[in-house]
Amino acid sequence: MVAFSGPSGVGKTTLLVALVRELGRRGLRVAAIKHSGHAHGFDVPGKDSDLLLRAGAHTVAVQGRTQLATFGAPRPGGARALARMLPPSDLVLVEGWKAERLPRVEVHRRTVSRAFACARGRGFIAVVSDEPPPRDLPTFAAGEVGAIADFLCERLGVRRRARPRARSSM
């Protein structure tokens, strides 16, 4: 697991989307989880899952042909507990959960904030920024997705999956 942090508007989600694509091209199974400090109504009022929750179910899972969703109260244990609920993955990219102790990449953009979180916080392993950070950390531009993926794989010990060999029809 590796977390990505920064204020709203710096491009965290855009970066994660590009990283998921890049890591997927490398044959890795990548999961992504996001934390939001805002109250959301994720479920649709009046649907079966909403009715079951309002009836008292602590969790409702809905599986369709192509997607799975769970609704209910947040689970204790934060990002790690949520990651354990996911299908097996080679790497979990986490957006948010600033208070959790996870290896963390700061996403920074000067036009959004002059302050760097890595200047006062621990656990940062890299910075993605349009200006140099105040600490000596590996630093990447937002467009260096391949280099960021290389760094994460090396730093976290994630290995490229061997692609299944095509069977010959001899």
Predicted confidence at residue 122, as pLDDT, reads 87
The answer to whether residue 103 sits within a structural domain is yes
**Tens digit of pLDDT for each residue in 58-101?**
777 788 888 877 777 777 788 888 888 888 899 999 998 888 89
Specify whether the CB–CB gap between 126 and 112 falls below 8 A: no
**Dihedral sign (CA 146, 150, 156, 161):** positive
Mean pLDDT of the chain: 87
**69: Cα within 13 Å, side-chain hemisphere:** 12
Domain that holds residue 145: 2-40+76-156
Q: Decide if 162 is inside a domain.
A: no
Based on the structure, what is the number of domains in the chain? 1
Please indicate, yes or no, if residue 135 is contained in any of the structural domains: yes
The pLDDT of residue 42 is: 63
* Residue 69, domain member (yes or no): no
Based on its alpha-carbon atoms, the radius of gyration of the chain, rounded to whole angstroms, reads 19
- Stated pTM of the model: 0.82
d(CA 98, CA 89): 22
Amino acid 161: pLDDT: 65
127, 138 Cβ separation under 8 angstroms: yes
- Has residue 50 been placed in a domain? no
> Which amino acid belongs to residue 110?
R
Q: What CATH code is carried by the domain that includes residue 114?
A: 3.40.50.300
Supply the pLDDT for residue 34.
Answer: 85
In a domain, 86, yes or no: yes
The answer to whether position 71 is within a domain reads no
CA dihedral 106→110→115→116, nearest 10 degrees, is 20
Has residue 85 been placed in a domain? yes
